[in-house]
């Protein structure tokens, strides 16, 4: 049974049992504390935790997931992988253990011809939480599992919670016995290699508090609505049904592994034994197969390679796959060979990987090309480091290996391989220690910034009394009733002049920041008080929280208020938001449908728009985009909004934002019908002419495969153009040429300046060269090594010192000699030290001397044994620094 057939059969079974089939959510998690969707239940967390009211009582899905916590272990065993699919069925206060358990057994054991998976009942084992007598009784009495195949397990493995106060409950897991050739008898307790877990049923029935660890917490009561969250690992079931040894041999993964093996001229043996000579090649082939599939799926969901967040994970996956192929002996580009194979393996389950493959391939191939260039530059630096280490008769330091990794992106395993070929050892322990320090810093920084686990209990309580009704689509003023005032996150009875507060209204015309549109500002007034609204946020779906300051009077918590949005600011924001849609449509016209939105932000008078594109836009292209946008504005296209169900919107061709989680009903914004049709919850002008005008400010890269344009609209666009016109007029007056000849005159002036600077550089170098001849006589003997120490005064920078220092070293001949030249550049001291071969043979190293001198100057420096440079903060210390160099050579 193919993997996509397993998924189809799962959905068919549970829809027949009254479940709503929910499409897989994006791999980009909507939970701010998660980079990716890491489990099948993640999209349903708001329903399972009662933060939101579920639109259905029963649901089923096949959710695509990514886990990267143990990415370094992928391939070393067959149990680790990054991308996987979780089949789930969920109940939100509907059925509980009495149905969830029989459902699972029925689907697993029913014959394939009758719609099941056809697993032999006598090969299935069950575990239950050790205190869950109810689940054990259902398995034993209702389902008929022999009691000897039911095992009780403790909290560590069979109790679920979020790790925080809230819902929790026992689990029951189903295991498949692979047979005695895989391990010892005795069920999952005895051997989880022979008995592999395929299905986990979580029974959310308790409220817990005082959580100190996974196993230490207090059960404080039962949940009013008990939920079911179950998950079956699709890859594990595919492994069993397809009769293969592991997930890497299933139909969605094996084709890539085989293609990689063929490219490398290797044979895959499926070994997990590190002592097996084939193990290292098998590990690399598994890494390639896993990471290529994961990269394909991440890019299809809108992730692009970058140096942070999700983009960094994708970049790491692609680069690990490429470097694994390199270590297998393939140094040319491999993604054009491997990615289409993964596409063909996955398209049965996810047709988008085929329909969107042109974009996916363009992003992936560009990243591989960039990495191959990184390897080339890193190789050059490594070769230099190898020469230096050999000259010093040392191994490659951990710091050097870390610099190669951190600065050049050069993988440690390539460093180890290439250093080994050169006969050098590498301080791998030192490298790992530095990597650990870097991860610790990143972890602490991430923890300090993370807000995903903020206490939302007070907002959940407010939401339980009803959602905030947004009236701002049709009105900018209206009455509302205060439902709560919060100060520092705590509900208070009133607020007085000067208090900074948050509050919730039963209905509001204020737009809460969402969809890239900035929040409204304005005033709240009433009997004896004036409150200025500074920001509006939506911490949980359905609740608008206004952040404000009391300007006058006292505001009671039960007040009836008059809410008034700043009209001018709202209109300017609507101009920008509609302008964003126009820019998107213009990009589609000029560049094509691949230029899809990757993010946006718009506020009064300003917009920025990120889109998928692999190269910079020419000035002509930017002008064309700007012209198309302004023609649309001039044509006064009608802007209309319609609320419809998601399927209808998709069939209409409405553009959705990658990674966005849409509900059953969506709002479609159209500009002149099909000219622009997008899903959007923001506010807009009624017709495009109300935007006035749009002026592009510039275009830039925001990560591999992504570009950004920025623009002003309305009066801000006019002011920008007026300022540029005034600047042109001023320059024309200054240079005394008409504006149409301004570019020519400026170009000629710049060329003259460059020629003058070049002549000055020539004269300065001639002066320095003349100085060099006169300085040779100032060299002193320091126990067998000549030392020439010179203060050059004002210099343009380190390049001046380098030219002078190397010239002096050459003029001093082959006798052991050291040159130390220093000077002041922009008020800061710089120093360069150069040694010849004779000095180095005498044990004098430029790097050590420059560190000493730079320390005297109040700074630091470093370099190679032959040439090194540094700097500091104290110009007056230059004579002392030069004296310290002479003394160090003399006293060596």
Residue 700 has what pLDDT?
Answer: 86
pLDDT at 570 over 90: yes
Contacts of 266 (CB under 8 A, 6+ apart): 281, 285, 328
CA distances from 129 to 198, 222, 884 (A): 17, 17, 73
Phi, psi of 169 (to 5 degrees): 170, 170
DSSP H helices in 95-251 = 97-109, 133-137, 155-158, 234-241
pLDDT at 603 over 90: yes
Mean pLDDT score of the chain: 88
Q: Is the dihedral of CA 882, 886, 891, 892 positive or negative?
A: positive
DSSP H helices in 556-686 = 567-591, 619-634, 646-652
Q: What is the average pLDDT across 414-425?
A: 76
Residue 421 has what pLDDT?
Answer: 65
Residue 409 has what pLDDT?
Answer: 67
Q: Which residue has the higher pLDDT, 413 or 113?
A: 113
Q: What is the average pLDDT across 583-610?
A: 91
Q: Which residue has the higher pLDDT, 200 or 390?
A: 200
pLDDT at 225 over 60: yes
The rounded distance, in Å, linking the Cα atoms of 208 and 221 is 7
Q: Is 584 annotated as a binding residue?
A: no
The rounded distance, in Å, linking the Cα atoms of 869 and 881 is 13
Residue 447 has what pLDDT?
Answer: 43
pLDDT at 472 over 90: yes
Q: Is residue 190 very low, low, confident or very high in pLDDT (cuts 50, 70, 90)?
A: very high
- DSSP sequence for 146-173: -GGGEEEE-HHHHEEE-SSSEEEEEEEE
Residue 768 has what pLDDT?
Answer: 65
The 3-class secondary structure across 494-538, one letter per residue, is EEECCCEEEEEECEECCCCCECCECCCCEEEEECCEEEEEEEEEE
Residue 423 CB-half CA count within 13 A: 4
The rounded distance, in Å, linking the Cα atoms of 208 and 228 is 17
pLDDT at 357 over 80: yes
Q: Is 436 annotated as a binding residue?
A: no
Neighbours of 553 (CB within 10 A): 15
Q: What is the average pLDDT across 623-633?
A: 96
The 3-class secondary structure across 755-783, one letter per residue, is HHHHHHHHHHHHHHHHHHHHHHHHCEEEC
The rounded distance, in Å, linking the Cα atoms of 246 and 78 is 6
Residues paired with residue 700 on neighbouring β-strands, in sequence order: 708
pLDDT at 446 over 50: no
Neighbours of 510 (CB within 10 A): 27
pLDDT at 253 over 60: yes
Q: Which of 115-119, 457-461, 491-495, 867-871 has the lowest mean pLDDT?
A: 457-461
pLDDT at 865 over 50: yes
Q: Is residue 441 very low, low, confident or very high in pLDDT (cuts 50, 70, 90)?
A: low
Residue 315 has what pLDDT?
Answer: 87
Q: Is 278 annotated as a binding residue?
A: no
- Count of all residues that appear for the chain in the document: 892
Contacts of 759 (CB under 8 A, 6+ apart): none
pLDDT at 449 over 50: no
Q: Is 65 annotated as a binding residue?
A: no
For 709-765, write each residue's pLDDT tens digit: 999 999 999 999 899 889 888 998 888 888 888 888 888 888 999 888 888 877 776
The rounded distance, in Å, linking the Cα atoms of 891 and 733 is 66
Q: What is the average pLDDT across 640-657?
A: 86
Burial of 334 (0-12, 13-18, 19+ CB in 10 A): buried
Question: Which range has highest mean pLDDT (173-177, 330-334, 488-492)?
Answer: 173-177
Structure tokens at 865: 């044994």
Q: What is the average pLDDT across 647-672?
A: 80
Residue 437 has what pLDDT?
Answer: 80
Q: What is the average pLDDT across 88-102?
A: 95
């Amino acid at each position: 049974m193919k993997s996509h057939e397993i998924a189809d059969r799962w959905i068919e079974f549970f829809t027949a049992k009254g479940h709503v089939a929910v499409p897989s959510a994006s791999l980009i998690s909507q939970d701010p504390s998660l980079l990716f969707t890491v489990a099948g239940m993640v999209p349903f967390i708001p329903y399972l935790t009662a933060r939101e009211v579920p639109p259905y009582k029963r649901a089923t899905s096949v959710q695509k997931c990514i886990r990267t916590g143990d990415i370094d272990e992928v391939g070393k065993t067959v149990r680790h992988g990054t991308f996987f699919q979780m089949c789930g069925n969920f109940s939100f206060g509907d059925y509980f253990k009495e149905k969830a358990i029989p459902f699972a057994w029925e689907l697993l054991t029913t014959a394939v011809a009758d719609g099941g998976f056809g697993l032999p009942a006598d090969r299935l084992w069950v575990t239950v939480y050790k205190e869950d007598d109810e689940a054990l009784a259902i398995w034993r009495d209702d389902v008929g599992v022999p009691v000897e195949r039911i095992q009780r397990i403790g909290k560590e493995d069979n109790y679920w919670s979020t790790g925080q106060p809230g819902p929790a409950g026992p689990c029951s897991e189903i295991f498949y016995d692979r047979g005695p050739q895989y391990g010892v008898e005795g069920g999952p307790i005895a051997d989880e290699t022979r008995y592999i877990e395929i299905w986990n049923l979580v029974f959310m029935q308790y409220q817990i508090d005082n959580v100190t660890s996974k196993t230490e917490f207090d059960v404080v009561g039962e949940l009013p609505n008990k939920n079911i969250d179950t998950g079956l690992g699709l890859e594990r079931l595919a492994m069993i049904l397809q009769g293969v040894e592991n997930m890497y041999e299933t139909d969605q993964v094996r084709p890539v592994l085989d293609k990689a093996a063929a490219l490398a001229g290797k044979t895959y043996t499926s070994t997990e034994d590190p002592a097996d000579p084939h193990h290292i090649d098998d590990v690399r082939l598994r890494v390639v197969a896993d990471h290529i599939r994961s990269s394909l799926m991440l890019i299809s969901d809108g992730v692009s390679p970058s140096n942070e967040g999700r983009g960094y994970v994708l970049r790491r996956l692609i680069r690990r796959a490429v470097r694994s192929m390199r270590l297998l002996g393939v140094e040319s580009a491999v993604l054009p060979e491997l990615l289409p194979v993964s596409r063909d393996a996955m398209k049965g389950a996810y047709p988008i990987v085929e329909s969107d493959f042109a974009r996916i391939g363009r992003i992936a191939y560009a990243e591989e090309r960039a990495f191959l260039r990184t390897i080339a530059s890193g190789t050059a630096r490594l070769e230099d480091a190898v020469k230096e280490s050999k000259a010093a008769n040392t191994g490659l330091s951990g710091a050097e290996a870390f610099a190669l990794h951190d600065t050049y992106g050069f993988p440690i395993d390539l460093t180890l391989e290439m250093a080994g070929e050169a006969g050098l050892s590498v301080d791998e322990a030192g490298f790992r220690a530095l990597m650990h320090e870097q991860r610790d810093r990143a972890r602490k920084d991430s923890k300090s910034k993370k807000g995903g686990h903020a206490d939302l209990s007070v907002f959940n309580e407010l939401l339980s009394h009803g959602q905030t009704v947004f009236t701002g689509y049709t009105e900018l003023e209206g009455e509302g009733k205060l439902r709560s005032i919060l100060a520092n996150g705590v509900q208070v009875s009133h607020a007085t002049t000067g208090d900074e507060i948050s509050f919730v209204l039963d209905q509001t015309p204020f737009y809460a920041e969402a969809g890239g549109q900035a929040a409204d500002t304005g005033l709240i007034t009433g009997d004896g008080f004036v409150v200025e609204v500074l920001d509006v946020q939506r911490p949980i779906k359905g609740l608008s929280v206004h952040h404000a300051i009391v300007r006058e009077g006292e505001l009671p918590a039960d007040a009836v208020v008059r809410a008034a949005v700043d009209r001018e600011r709202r209109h300017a924001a609507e101009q920008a938001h509609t302008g964003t849609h126009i820019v998107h449509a213009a990009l589609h016209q000029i560049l094509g449908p691949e230029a899809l939105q990757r993010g946006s932000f718009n506020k009064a008078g300003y917009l920025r728009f990120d889109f998928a594109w692999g190269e910079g836009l020419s000035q002509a292209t930017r002008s064309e985009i700007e012209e198309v946008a302004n023609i649309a504005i001039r044509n006064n296209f009608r802007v209309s909004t319609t609320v419809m169900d998601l399927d209808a919107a998709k069939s209409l061709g409405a553009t959705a934002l990658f990674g966005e989680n849409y509900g059953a009903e969506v709002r479609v914004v159209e500009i002149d019908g099909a000219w622009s049709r997008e899903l959007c919850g923001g506010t807009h002008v009624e017709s495009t002419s109300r935007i006035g005008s749009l002026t592009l400010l510039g275009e830039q890269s925001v990560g591999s495969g992504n570009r950004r344009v920025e623009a002003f609209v309305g009066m801000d666009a006019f002011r920008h153009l007026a300022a540029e016109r005034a600047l042109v007029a001023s320059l024309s007056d200054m240079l005394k040429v008409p504006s149409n000849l301004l570019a020519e005159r400026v170009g000629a002036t710049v060329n003259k300046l460059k020629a003058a600077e070049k002549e000055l550089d020539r004269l300065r170098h001639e002066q320095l060269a003349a100085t060099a001849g006169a300085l040779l006589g100032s060299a002193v003997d320091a126990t067998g090594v000549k030392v020439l120490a010179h203060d050059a005064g004002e210099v343009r920078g380190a390049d001046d010192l380098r030219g002078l220092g190397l010239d002096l070293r050459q003029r001093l001949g082959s006798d052991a000699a050291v040159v130390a030249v220093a000077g002041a550049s922009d008020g800061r001291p710089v120093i360069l030290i150069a040694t010849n071969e004779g000095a180095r043979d005498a044990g004098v190293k430029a790097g050590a001397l420059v560190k000493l001198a730079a320390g005297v100057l109040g700074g630091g420096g470093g370099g190679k044994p032959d040439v090194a440079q540094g700097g500091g903060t104290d110009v007056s210390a230059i004579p002392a620094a030069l004296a310290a160099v002479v003394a160090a050579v003399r006293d060596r």
